């Protein structure tokens, strides 16, 4: 049964912004500054360029294949079933880890110590219920969350630009090539939400026109927001941002705006919740697409007759996310997620590169640059995260080989 086309351009842009302007913008600056130093803006530029290349690949593919599943569906059509499967598997495992990371971040800002795990579990369960009762509710709630998040970020920017720091910020370290690239890899995690729009191809009105526009608009908005936050963080905190657990709250304190710190904590929790909501939705749609092709168990392909959503897939994903929250930490979840996401976009660029001239909206060199960028950023990830990610990918490959062997 097909999904209902209810999402407008505004809805799609809001979902993309809600996915990108999430926990990363409130937490990524410390780790990124610690490795990139004065090269932070260069690292941000590199991450933005790779994200733009990936966005154009996703937009070009989505215009020709306006169906649920994102690169899973695109790679199946343009390259072959195995490429599509690996892309879909990397997306699902990477984004399930991202869901857990967002839930943990939400709880860290919203709950006192000792209550963070129960609050994270409750957030996942509550948003699963929202998703199970229709995508229009998802789009509406995401809009509200994006607005609240942007208000908090606007306060941070205003404080950093207009208020004199209470002390001279510590000087930033000189950058190295590897440090800048590692910083770009960390910052890319915060950009990764734009392609979530493409995974909802069956629910967007006029997808050939709406999806490409929504991806570019959402990405452009996120780049502007991140650049502003990067500048004020360096101006106010300098190298001290590297050791800050809540750098944007510390920006307000350093700028003399301590009274606004609770607002930023609310905005951080809200942004994390918005990203979690969009992640659960997009992962459910890719799971639906894979189940339709028997690359995941067929019972996950069921679409609810009344609400037109893949309820079984949504519930299973939420249950796995809750399991990760109970056993993993935030750093492990983010590292594993980055591995899967970058491989997913590597395949997206390869699929877009193979498209013919009649479908081409962007030059092939953009896809080459995007693929190379993904490979470089993957190489900066922690070794343990890469090894675990590779092992899980091999498990997925083994599952599909076994299914093909026993299939009639």
Q: What is the pLDDT along the chain (408 residues), one digit of tens a residue?
A: 566 677 788 888 877 777 677 667 877 788 888 888 889 999 999 998 898 899 889 888 887 887 766 788 899 899 999 999 999 899 899 989 889 988 988 887 788 778 989 999 999 999 999 888 875 556 676 677 778 888 888 999 999 888 765 567 778 878 889 889 988 888 888 887 666 676 666 677 887 778 778 878 888 888 888 999 999 998 888 888 887 767 888 888 888 888 998 998 888 888 888 788 878 988 888 888 888 888 888 899 999 888 888 999 999 999 999 999 998 887 778 778 888 988 999 999 999 999 988 888 889 999 999 999 999 998 887 778 788 889 989 999 998 999 888 875
Q: CATH number for 9-406: choose from 1.20.1740.10, 1.10.10.10, 2.160.10.10, 1.20.140.10.
A: 1.20.1740.10
Find how far residue 367's CA is from the centre of its chain. 20
10 Å CB burial of residue 326 (0-12, 13-18, 19+) is exposed
Q: What pLDDT is attached to residue 196?
A: 67
Helices (H), 111-201: 116-132, 135-162, 177-191
Residues 6+ positions from 170 with CB-CB distance below 8 Å? 237, 238, 239, 240
- Check residue 46 and give its pLDDT: 93
Q: Which two tokens stand for residue 370?
A: 């995007």
- Residue 38 exposed, middle or buried by CB count within 10 Å (0-12, 13-18, 19+): middle
Longest dimension (CA), the chain: 72
Task: List Cβ neighbours of 340 (8 Å cut-off, separation of 6 or more).
Answer: 90, 91, 93, 94, 95, 97, 389, 392, 393
Which of 213, 231, 267 is closest to 26 using CA atoms? Answer: 267
Whether the model pTM is above 0.85: no
pLDDT of residue 199: 62
Residue 387, classified by CB atoms within 10 Å of its CB into exposed (0-12), middle (13-18) or buried (19+), is exposed
Cα 20 to chain center, whole Å?
6
Q: Which pLDDT score is estimated for 272?
A: 85
The torsion region of residue 187 among left (phi > 0), alpha (psi -120 to 50) and beta comes to alpha
Upper half-sphere CA count for residue 212 (Cβ side, 13 Å): 16
Does residue 160 contact residue 231 with C-beta atoms inside 8 Å? yes
Alpha carbon distance 102, 123 (integer Å): 10
pLDDT reported for residue 121: 97
User: At how many degrees (to 10) do helices 81-110 and 311-327 cross?
Assistant: 60
């Amino acid at each position: 049964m097909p999904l209902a086309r209810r999402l407008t351009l505004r809805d799609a842009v809001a979902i993309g912004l809600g996915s990108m302007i999430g926990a990363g913008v409130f937490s990524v600056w410390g780790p990124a500054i610690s490795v990139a130093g004065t090269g932070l803006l260069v690292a941000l530029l590199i991450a933005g360029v790779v994200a733009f290349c990936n966005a154009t690949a996703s937009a070009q593919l989505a215009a020709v294949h306006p169906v649920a599943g994102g690169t899973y569906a695109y790679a199946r059509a343009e390259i072959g079933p195995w490429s599509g499967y690996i892309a879909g598997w990397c997306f699902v495992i990477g984004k399930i880890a991202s869901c857990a990371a967002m839930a943990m971040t939400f709880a860290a800002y919203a709950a006192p110590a000792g209550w963070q795990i129960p609050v994270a579990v409750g957030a996942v369960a509550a948003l699963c219920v929202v998703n199970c009762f229709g995508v229009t509710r998802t789009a509406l709630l995401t809009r509200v969350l994006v607005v609240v998040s942007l208000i908090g970020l606007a306060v941070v920017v205003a404080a950093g630009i207009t208020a004199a720091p209470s002390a001279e910020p510590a000087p930033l370290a000189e950058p190295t090539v590897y440090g800048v690239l590692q910083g770009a890899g960390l910052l890319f995690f915060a950009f990764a939400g734009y392609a979530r729009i493409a995974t909802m191809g069956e629910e967007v009105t006029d997808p050939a026109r709406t999806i490409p526009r929504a991806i570019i608009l959402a990405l452009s908005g996120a780049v502007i927001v991140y650049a502003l936050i990067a500048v004020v963080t360096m101006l106010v905190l300098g190298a001290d941002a590297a050791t800050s657990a809540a750098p944007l709250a510390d920006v307000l304190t350093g700028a003399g705006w301590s009274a606004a710190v609770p607002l930023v904590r609310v905005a951080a929790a809200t942004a994390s919740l918005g990203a979690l909501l969009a992640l659960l939705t997009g992962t459910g749609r890719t799971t639906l697409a894979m189940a339709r092709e028997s690359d995941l168990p067929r019972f996950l392909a069921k679409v609810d007759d009344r609400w037109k959503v893949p309820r079984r897939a949504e519930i299973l994903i939420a249950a796995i996310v809750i399991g990760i929250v109970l056993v993993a930490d935030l750093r492990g979840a983010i590292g594993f997620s980055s591995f899967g996401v970058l491989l997913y976009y590597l395949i997206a660029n390869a699929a877009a590169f193979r498209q013919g001239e009649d479908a081409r909206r962007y030059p092939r060199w953009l896809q080459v640059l995007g693929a190379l960028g993904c490979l470089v950023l993957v190489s900066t990830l922690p070794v343990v995260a890469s090894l675990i990610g590779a092992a899980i990918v091999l498990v997925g490959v083994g599952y599909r080989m076994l299914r093909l062997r026993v299939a009639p």
